[in-house]
Structure 1
Amino acid sequence: MTEEERRAQSEQTNGEPVLDFSVGRVNENSTPYIDYHSVDALLSLQHPRTEEPAELTFYITGQVQELLFKLLFTEINRVRDLLFDDRIDDALWYLRRIERTQRVLTACWEPVSTLTPREFANFRNELGSASGFQSYMYRQLEFSLGNKVRRMAEAYHAVPWLHEQVTAVLEAPSLYDATLAVLHRRGRIPEKCVPVEFAEPYVPDALVEEAWGAIYRSPEEDPQLHALAEALSELNYQYSRWRTTHLLAVERIMGHKPGTGGTLGVEWLRRVAEHRFFPELWSVRTEF
């Protein structure tokens, strides 16, 4: 529908909503809104396994987080590609949107944190060995940000299509790889500081830390790089907030029980929460 058609429709209804949902629909058993968002398919995907009312809270918030993982993964790869193309301002715009999405992701723990230990215990056994640790969108998101660990990809070996998909992300450049390439092209770091083996865990480099230090000491020399440094720091800050809130929600719900995926539960989450992407952007702060 064009803007002219929308304006004409609004005039016909005196600005009131159109109540004839047959207008613009794809099939007779739907509405345009359902068609666009696939709402019927989306709302058919909830299958709690117990009569415990709180299970639906756990179920839906988990699905929402998976959708947000997908959105973040897509946007982070977009930023990575923009950085490789030296479109720094465009990358900064999308990093702004990523930060807003991360806040929504963290807020997803709020409904979950209201579960009492008894409510969670009433359906926890139905999880079996299922664990958020197994989320392939989460794993791809971690890889895209630079937290590369090959054995985490090998965990999906039993599912060939999934193993191939996750491994492809493992072996692709990360957001930080693209950032380091920008620093090299701007003459801030030598070529040897830019990774060429993208599947390997990133090792912090003193020369990279020195480069970030120079950028922070004289932000006016390259405002774009200074803004990029702060945007990446914000991204990591928001991600760490999500991890820490996850830790607190789990500890509140089930204490120090082992995780369903075989981890130590809270202790494992505490260790994960201490990880930092873009390490030199954090270590450089000590010198100021």
Structure 2
Amino acid sequence: MVREMVHEPGRGRELSTYERYLRTNELLALQKAEGELAHHDELQFQVVHQVFELWWKESAFELRTIRTLLGKGDLPYAIRLMQRVIRTQHLMLENLRMLESMTPWEFHAFRKVLEDGAGTDSPGFHALMRLSPLLWDDYKALLEREGVTLIEVHTQPQHYPLLLAMAEALIDYDEIFQLFRTQHFKLAIRMIGPGSMGTGGTSMQVLERTLRDAFYPELWQVRNELTELANQQGER
């Protein structure tokens, strides 16, 4: 592999093609300098949350593409990209657990620097909260074009394998996102306690109520309907 080097004005060194392509200088300058850290663990806190934003940007990009694909009826590609989004959410969950490596007192050593900043202010999080529910509208429109119900998709998988695979991908995504939000809540009460106020002024009790939210309630409800149907057939 040819390694291309270019001189970077004012830096006194040459950048590789890798560094220029990934813009590593800009990327690695986005965190506080070591001498500016309020506490040792502040760097990890910044990196973890910046990683969130990068992966959420990627996820939002994929979700917009998936919406277009569903509109075209291109289920194979939509399902493949949906699996990518799901895998990304698993990475996010593991990324979040990195913050468990600091103690509550260590977090408090720099928490005041956050002022009123909160995870609920994340532009990436808001993008997913806005885009994700729209996939149900696209999927429902696809069902209507195919003239099939959600019950039929689940009870006749041999006739609708791709529609079922997409439905399962959507609920997988919904589930892992809910798990992420639950783990984030658990991390918050682990750090500041269940009776405290979050940095954004939201109580832990209010935050806990949001854990009941789902992107695709229809896909959860259909499981009740399938159970009732199975019970009825068993009584015959």
TM over 0.5, yes or no? yes
Conservation of the 8 A alpha-carbon contact between 2:4 and 2:17: yes
Q: Take 2:105 and 2:191, find their aligned partners in 1: how far apart are those partners?
A: 9
Q: 1:277, 1:25 → 2: CA distance? A: 47
Match for 1:133 among 116, 120, 123?
120
State the shift of 1:111 in Å.
1.0
Distance in 2, Cα, partners of 1:91 & 1:53: 43
CA drift at 1:26: 4.5
Map 1:71-82 to 2 at 5 A: 71-82=58-69
Which is richer in helix?
2
**Which 5+ residue runs of structure 2 have no aligned equivalent?**
9-13, 228-236
- How far did 1:122 drift? 0.6
Q: How does 1:203-222 map to 2 (within 5 A)?
A: 211-222=149-160
Distance 1:242 1:25 in 2: 41
Q: What one-letter code is carried by the residue in structure 1 that aligns with 2:162? A: Q
Deviations 1:58-102 (A, max 9, x none): 111011001111011001111111000110111011111111111
CA RMSD of aligned residues (A): 1.5
Asked if 1:104 is matched to 2:43, the reply is no
| 1:227 matches 2:151 | no
Residue of 145, 148, 156 corresponding to 1:185: 145
Using structure 1 for the length normalisation, give the TM-score: 0.72
Alignment check: 8 A CA contact 1:25 1:35 kept: no
The aligned counterpart of 2:182 is 244
Is 2:9 the partner of 1:24?
no
Contact 1:176 / 1:278 at 8 angstroms: preserved in 2? yes
For 1:259, the equivalent position in structure 2 comes to 198
The residue type paired with residue 261 of structure 1 is G
Which one-letter code corresponds to 2:4 in the other structure? G
Spell out the pairing of 1:27-42 with structure 2 (5 A cutoff): 27-28=7-8, 29-42=14-27
CA contact (8 A) 1:113 1:250 kept: no
Partner Cα separation in structure 1 for residue 121 and residue 28 of structure 2: 23
Q: Percent identity?
A: 32
1:176 is aligned to 136
CA–CA distance in structure 2, aligned partners of residues 113 and 273 of structure 1: 20
Give the Cα separation in 2 of the matches to 1:104 and 1:232: 17
Looking at structure 1, the residues matched to 97 and 199 of structure 2 have their Cα atoms a distance apart, in angstroms, of 21
> Could you tell me which residue of structure 2 aligns to residue 142 of structure 1?
129
Corresponding residue for 1:92? 79
Match of 2:31 among 35, 42, 46: 46
**Matched positions, count:** 218
Task: Tell me which residue corresponds to 1:119.
Answer: 106
Cα distance in structure 2, aligned partners of 1:46 and 1:113? 20
Kindly state the Cα deviation for residue 212 of structure 1 after the two structures are TM-superposed: 1.6
1:55 deviates by 1.2
Matches within 5 A, 1:261-280: 261-264=200-203, 266-280=204-218
- Residues 37 and 43 in structure 2, CA contact (< 8 A), matched pair in contact too: no
Separation of aligned partners in 2, 1:40 and 1:275: 40
One-letter amino acid of the structure 2 residue matched with residue 30 of structure 1: L
Letter in 2 for 1:225: L
Tell me the distance in 1 between the aligned counterparts of 2:160 and 2:6. Answer: 51
